[in-house]
Structure 1
């Protein structure tokens, strides 16, 4: 049984958020929370919130034990881009793209004997 949580329109670039999501994919959920708490990247805070929400969904909706949860899948999609202009010299203006992200985390219960999913080499 798997539970999911999603945060949409998060004001962090998808490229930076994917770096953080790659750290937790395949980890036990409690270990992933510890990794996110001490990760220096700014994207780790919204990803931590999404992971906590997915864990709460699993516990509340499916009565799953928090200790058995594993981050089975996690990904970041690109949201809409906010376009802003920065004044430059001699009347010019450069466009600044403020990118947004859609962060999705799926956790599932695994028996205690199983750790990471097969196929992961790192």
Structure 2
């Protein structure tokens, strides 16, 4: 069962997966790898990792991105996983019959996974606005001028990455 929740109406979108049948410890091993990464990079990492926990986390990240683009109109290329947490949920306890009439307890743990995506393009716009306000505080233009080379002699192979730049 997957729930979708919007938290901060302007920048963040949630996706919450409840009662996912796996240990919280095993899910945290995967979540720690994707925290703070971009949406597209996260999908590539989750597809290539060999753990069973990757599939439900992949579905949650994909669901949160679909929620962000449909409900909020965010661009998927500018989404970043700002918060990802795994919490322990209920444990299903069963009894398995064993030899001599004894029973053996089987514990099936489950967990809650929360994925929060943040749109960084909105932060870039705020950053640009703050930079525009700081432009008036800069030094005069004649102090900040640097010598610019326009002839081709300054562009040698050591400054531009050398011969190995071209493929």
Normalising by structure 2, we get a TM-score of: 0.65
Query: Secondary structure in 1 aligned to 2:28?
Result: helix
**Residue 112 of structure 1, CA deviation:** 9.7
Match of 1:15 in 2: 25
**Is it true that 1:80 corresponds to 2:90 in the alignment?**
yes
Aligned pair count reads: 114
Match of 1:103 in 2: 113
More helix by share: 2
CA distance in 2: counterparts of 1:73 and 1:62, whole angstroms: 18
Specify every segment of 5 or more residues in structure 2 that has no aligned partner in the other structure, as ranges: 1-10, 125-167
More strand by share: 1
Maintained 8 Å contact 1:68/1:112: no
**Is it true that 1:57 corresponds to 2:67 in the alignment?**
yes
Q: Which 4+ residue blocks in structure 1 deviate beyond 6 angstroms? A: none
**Residue 81 of structure 1, CA deviation:** 0.7
